[in-house]
Each structure stands twice: as C-alpha cells, then as structure tokens.
C-alpha cells in the first residue's frame, strides 16, 4: 500500500516581494502570499485529499502556509510537526540584503555562483548541497516511513528545502535541480511505491509562476 506525500512551497513573503535574501530570517506572508496558500489549499480540497499529519519548518511563512492549507482542506486541528531541519537554505551574510545590493558588493558573477551553484555556499551560509544534507536525514527518518505506511503527509516548507526533496524523488541531477524553480503555493502530490520510488506526481496549479 503506497502513501501520498504533498509538498507545498510557502506563499510569497514580505522579503520575496522586496527582493531580499531571506534564508533563516522570519518575515510574514504578504497578502498575495496568503492568497497563494489559500489557492493551493483549495486545490487540495478539490482534489479530495485528507492528511494524517503535517510537517513544516521553524519559520513563520511556512507555518502560516501550512495552517491556511489545513484550514482549506477542513483539518485545522491536524497534528503539525515543526522542525528547523525543513528551514530554507541559510544565506549567511547575504540574509536581509537586497539582491541588487549584494551584486554591487560582491559582483554579479560571484552572487550568481552562490545562488545557482550546487555546492558553493555564501559566506557564513549553506549551499544547496548543505541544505540537502540537513533535509534528507530528517525526511528519511521522520517523514518517509509514515508515507510508506500508507499515510498522507503534508510538507509545507521552502524553495530550497523542497528542491532537496524533489531532487531525490524525481531523480534529478545536480545540473537539473539548479534549473528547477518551485512556484509559491502550488502543491505537488506524490504517490509513492512501497520501495519509495514515485508511482505518480500531480502538480495542482501553474508552475510557471515560479520565481
């Protein structure tokens, strides 16, 4: 019996809107971000999904997205586990900086390398590989066993923590994962086989809104 894993990236945050590196900083959702979470939650309600448990990060924008989604599917009191293992990639010294200001300070090419390379971290921060090294063990020990028992599990998290999971689930190369952007508030519904391979994947919305 296979279970279902639903991944949702949080709706737009105040700092996404201001073009700031966010990382482990903790801004709220914007009005648009709330609407994106509501749209994603409604898509899941229309899909007919009911969850057994939810996981989210230690950051408000993911927690709020999780809460809105659960409200929309009629499960506002569902058990929800919060853990910083699912936090966004830590941008270190870039956190809180406007992306244009960072380019002025370090140069376009260097900032591009930090943002888009797989294993080069910004000063004081994490690379995508470092993020995966924290996300994967948590996924393998806390989340995947529940899915393999046949449960339906929601994970509301962040662009880079979810990219780490999609990389494994979709068997993407380092090059492929760097090109992948996940749209805010758009649920990805994975049905898994007993050996943890993907039986099917449904994207409930428009991925072209990725940024």
> Tens of pLDDT along 156-202?
999 999 999 999 999 999 999 988 989 999 999 999 999 999 999 99
User: Which pTM value belongs to this model?
Assistant: 0.94
Supply 29's token pair.
């959702």
Structural domain harbouring 62: 4-17+27-88+129-190+199-209
Please indicate, yes or no, if residue 104 is contained in any of the structural domains: no
Does residue 116 fall inside a structural domain?
no
Q: Which burial class, exposed, middle or buried, applies to 197 when counting CB atoms under 10 A from its CB (0-12, 13-18, 19+)?
A: exposed
121 inside domain: no
Q: How far apart are CA 150 and CA 50, in angstroms?
A: 12
Looking at the chain, the whole-number percentage of residues with pLDDT higher than 70 is 97
Q: Which residue has the higher pLDDT, 65 or 2?
A: 65
Whether residue 96 is contained in a domain is answered as no
Query: Does residue 120 surpass a pLDDT of 50?
Result: yes
In a domain, 99, yes or no: no
The per-residue pLDDT for 17 is 85
In a domain, 111, yes or no: no
Active site residues: 10, 88
Asked whether residue 98 is assigned to any structural domain, the reply reads no
- The DSSP call for residue 57 is -
What CATH number is associated with residue 38? 3.40.50.1240
Q: Is residue 108 part of a domain?
A: no
As to burial, measured by CB atoms within 10 angstroms (0-12 exposed, 13-18 middle, 19+ buried), residue 108 is exposed
What per-residue confidence (pLDDT) applies to 98? 94
| Number of compact structural domains in the chain | 1
């Amino acid at each position: 019996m296979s279970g279902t894993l639903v991944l949702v990236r949080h709706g737009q945050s105040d700092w996404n809107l201001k073009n700031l590196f966010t990382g482990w900083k903790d801004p709220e959702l914007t009005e648009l971000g709330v609407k994106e979470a509501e749209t994603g939650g409604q898509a899941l309600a229309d899909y007919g999904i009911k969850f057994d448990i939810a996981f989210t990060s230690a950051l408000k924008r993911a927690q709020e997205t999780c809460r809105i989604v659960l409200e929309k599917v009629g499960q506002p009191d569902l058990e929800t586990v919060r853990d910083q293992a699912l936090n966004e990639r830590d941008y270190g010294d870039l956190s809180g900086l406007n992306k244009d200001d960072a380019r002025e300070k370090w140069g376009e090419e260097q900032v591009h390398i930090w943002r888009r390379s797989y294993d080069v971290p910004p000063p004081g921060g994490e690379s995508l590989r470092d993020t995966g090294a924290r996300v994967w063990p948590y996924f393998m020990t806390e989340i995947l066993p529940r899915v393999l028992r046949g449960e339906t599990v929601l994970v509301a998290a962040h662009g880079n923590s979810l990219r780490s999971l999609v990389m494994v689930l979709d068997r993407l190369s380092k090059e492929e994962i760097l090109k992948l952007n996940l749209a805010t508030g758009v649920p990805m519904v994975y049905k898994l086989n007993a050996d943890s391979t993907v039986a099917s994947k449904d994207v409930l919305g428009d991925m072209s809104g990725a940024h």
